């Protein structure tokens, strides 16, 4: 069983920044895609970003391009999501996920293991 753990969420004002972190097993980081998803109140969960060293792919949903940055630090087995220029519509529970897919995908079906999520609230 692959266990993931998110951290770094909180309450931030519009225009502010947060850095979300996901503790990921080293084997997953090295060989499989790691994605960030979010579920806003009353909405379905959506893919936000993904990174894979296996094929060098990254993915960002259109609404976060230029504002969010996904990265990884293999020394501490962590995948980060830097979220800048926050908007109220970014309010959601953010989840990280991984599986056995070496390439990034925006489909939840490609991810087998999920963290419990971290809440991000953007409000003045």
53 has a pLDDT exceeding 90: no
pLDDT in tens, 78-96: 999 999 999 999 999 999 9
pLDDT at site 93: 98
The dihedral built from the CA positions of residue 77, 57, 108 and 118, taken in this order, carries a sign that is positive
Asked if residue 54 has pLDDT above 90, the reply is no
Q: Using an 8 Å Cβ cutoff, are 21 and 12 in contact? A: no
Q: What angle (nearest 5°) sits at the alpha carbon of residue 10, between those of residues 7 and 12? A: 140
Percent of the chain with pLDDT over 70: 100
pLDDT tens readout for residues 10-51: 999 999 999 999 999 988 888 899 999 999 999 999 999 999
């Amino acid at each position: 069983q692959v266990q993931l753990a998110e951290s770094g969420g909180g309450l931030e004002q519009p225009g502010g920044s947060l850095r979300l972190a996901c503790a990921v097993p080293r084997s997953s980081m090295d060989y499989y895609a790691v994605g960030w998803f979010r579920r806003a109140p009353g909405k379905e969960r959506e893919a936000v970003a993904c990174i894979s060293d296996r094929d060098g792919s990254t993915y960002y949903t259109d609404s976060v391009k230029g504002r969010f940055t996904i990265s990884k630090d293999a020394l501490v087995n962590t995948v980060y999501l830097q979220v800048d220029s926050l908007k109220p519509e970014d309010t959601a529970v953010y989840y990280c996920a991984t599986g056995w897919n070496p390439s990034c995908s925006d489909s939840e079906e490609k991810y087998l293991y999920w963290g419990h999520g971290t809440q991000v609230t953007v409000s003045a």
